Structure 1
């Protein structure tokens, strides 16, 4: 089968899936957004890669706009056209599209349906449910119309897809509540794999950053509207009592900019702000940390599950989470003993949980070991790939062919 695997965010865990699918004899084109600013995997050929694996990108010519709605919608449209052109060149038998913004996905899927190519949407986030803060900047009547149109676009595209992959059962309820009742649906959690740096527990990254020997609390990834930078600043303020502790934020964008302002205003020398690190450095970065922070605001519950839970667990990193207790990630952390969870608005509880993890080495060790065990149980790419491939073959078999 010729499979176009569109990985908009270029997630590190999806690239091995492309490689595994090609190992099974399929022709696989892994596509990602060239100019999306954020943490990225490394979509490049490795020695021993199967001949049927190819990597390419969709380009806009400028960074993808995240937070300014009119410019974002224009970028989404242009991106969808670019994705459709790549599809036309590759001529796939099936498209699997992960975490693609609604308008871009609608444009690409509409083009594919005209050519009778089945399209499977891999739902990592429900964009329109989190768009309210961005849309509310518009005048009220226009904002209401824009939000309704965005939801019709997203849920309509998902309803018309040939199949859906969702990352937790809770997503099914959210989609069904908005009229999406797709009979061809697979629930497949995200995953991560242990890295060599994790197993060796090297501290090279911290030494390079000039913070070797410190206790490191790490928050790495996007700081967007689903997160609370002020909570991180409050934690940094509390940690000034302990000169050996550093709070490292690895991010870019408005949330990072806000933390820059707070760092200066509150004189927080222990708050270290870094840009996104090259993918090759991420394993060493995770191995250098003692605790990993996961955030998700209450407004984003039901539309998002922090994937950092999987990457931190795979690194043997104890998790400090400020996320709704009903979120699937919170259940994972509690059920498997991966760390400590508090509600996102419980700032005193968050700081107390951080203190508990910092002061209890045996707890950190137990959480780290639980993370590696969890990853061993849930991160088998052959088992995951087999489930996804069987689903894709079933979807294709139900799609009328020319």
Structure 2
């Protein structure tokens, strides 16, 4: 992949997206990372750090007024407003490729049109299928118009997905949903989310929060043969797993090694960067 200009837009400003932006810049690409400073959510490392690569910049965009999170019509107006702010970044930066993540559908619509207007490839990084959530919530809040609004957003979301140059889905579960709506499977790449391991704080594993909040039954453990799972309340399953692990040291080691290998592979920003570069190359 030749060196290109990449605008990576993460509406939320979360940690691993800006880590990816830094990684792409370390590879020699010119990268502008844009996020909404008005959207109220925990943010990642969004200030310039010593050692940040050349060609990397972080640009916040903002709404004029405080973000109206709980009111549908006011929120929609502000999401369109931020979409135009993202679009101005496209006009100013003139990227070869745009990667958009976590953007509400009204924001994404304005943003995608700007990418097309200025000839940039558009990669839709799909964290969630927003129109499904809208279809559950809006008809309850707006009984008269809600179903028509939900139908519009379903049409809008899948139209934008179909017109994107590439889609990065965070789970294989999204693929059959996308293909059923007419998205070509060869335009979909599955790259699971990760965490910037070097930014994670280290605390004792055995703590009160973990004892009361860590869920069982995670598919990731089963898929990678990294342990046993059971639903809450299945005491016999838990006791059986503990007895098995206590009696079989080789099994304990194998499961632990598998879990460690999964974390090293999944959180390796170099490998993740390779996969995103392949997506951009094919866009």
- Shorter chain as denominator, the TM-score bin is 0.7 to 0.9
Check if 1:216 corresponds to 2:216.
no
**Alpha-carbon distance in structure 2 between the residues aligned to 1:390 and 1:373:** 23
Corresponding position of 2:155? 152
TM, length-normalised to structure 1: 0.60
- TM-aligned CA deviation for residue 321 of structure 1: 4.3
Pairing partner for 2:12 from 9, 12, 33 = 9
Tell me: CA distance 1:88–1:321, structure 2 relative to 1, closer, same or farther (3 Å).
farther
Pairing partner for 1:164 from 164, 167, 186 = 167
Corresponding position of 2:220? 332
**Alpha-carbon distance in structure 2 between the residues aligned to 1:385 and 1:70:** 38
Tell me: CA distance 1:197–1:135, structure 2 relative to 1, closer, same or farther (3 Å).
closer
SS at match of 1:56: strand
TM, length-normalised to structure 2: 0.83
Corresponding position of 2:92? 89
Pairing partner for 1:58 from 58, 61, 65 = 61
Corresponding position of 1:25? 28
Gaps of 5+ in 1: 204-213, 219-244, 248-291, 294-319, 323-329, 343-348, 396-402
- TM-aligned CA deviation for residue 74 of structure 1: 1.4
Q: How many residues align?
A: 271
1:34-92 deviation digits (Å, cap 9, x = unpaired): 12222321112221111111011121144544443222211211111111012211111
- TM-aligned CA deviation for residue 391 of structure 1: 1.8
Check if 1:120 corresponds to 2:123.
yes
Gaps of 5+ in 2: 247-251
- CA RMSD, aligned part only? 3.1
Pairing partner for 1:381 from 248, 259, 269 = 269
Tell me: CA distance 1:130–1:170, structure 2 relative to 1, closer, same or farther (3 Å).
same
Tell me: CA distance 1:108–1:386, structure 2 relative to 1, closer, same or farther (3 Å).
same
Tell me: CA distance 1:74–1:352, structure 2 relative to 1, closer, same or farther (3 Å).
farther
- TM-aligned CA deviation for residue 138 of structure 1: 4.0
- Judge conservation of contact 1:68–1:134 (CA < 8 Å) in 2: no
SS at match of 2:145: helix
Corresponding position of 2:249? none
**Alpha-carbon distance in structure 1 between the residues aligned to 2:53 and 2:171:** 31
Pairing partner for 2:132 from 129, 134, 156 = 129
- Judge conservation of contact 1:30–1:56 (CA < 8 Å) in 2: yes
SS at match of 1:169: coil
